[in-house]
Amino acid sequence: MTFELLAAAAGAGAPSGASFLLSNVVPIVGMVAIFWFLIIRPQMKQQKEHRAKIAAVKKGDQVVTAGGLVGKVVKVDDVYVELDLGTNVRVKAIKATLGDIIPPGGKPAND
């Protein structure tokens, strides 16, 4: 729109096909590229790291589920993990719902 106003003010005719392409399509492509590199790409990288971390969960790890439960892994399966949440309290959770693994030295889950 601005280019058309400038062209009209300068006394030029209608914009040619190449200038129309530059003035309308290139900014949109630029915005998509910026959106990709600032938002989508880092999010995909973070998801990939999270999936790798959850796939590496093993017996004895302390984890936090997506629901906020903190427990110690007792048994690991391909799809499920069994968590010890306290004295005589064990739950079976879907492995994909694990939110994070608490590093050793963190606050104990059952104390």
Residues 39, 45: Cα–Cα separation, whole Å = 10
Report if residue 29 sits inside a domain: yes
Residue 64: CATH number of its domain: 2.30.30
CB 73 within 8 A of CB 91: no
From first to last of the 111 residues of the chain, give the pLDDT tens digit. 556 655 555 554 445 667 777 778 888 989 999 999 999 999 999 999 999 999 999 999 999 999 999 999 999 999 999 999 999 999 999 999 999 998 887 665 555
Half-sphere exposure of 39 (CA within 13 A, CB side): 6
Question: Which structural domain, as residue segments, surrounds residue 29?
Answer: 2-53
User: Considering the entire predicted model, what is its pTM?
Assistant: 0.64
Same domain, 47 and 10: yes
Q: How many domains does the chain have?
A: 2
62 shares a domain with 46: no
Q: Report pLDDT for 27.
A: 86
Q: Alpha carbon of 96 to those of 49, 78, 80, 85: distances in Å?
A: 13, 10, 8, 18
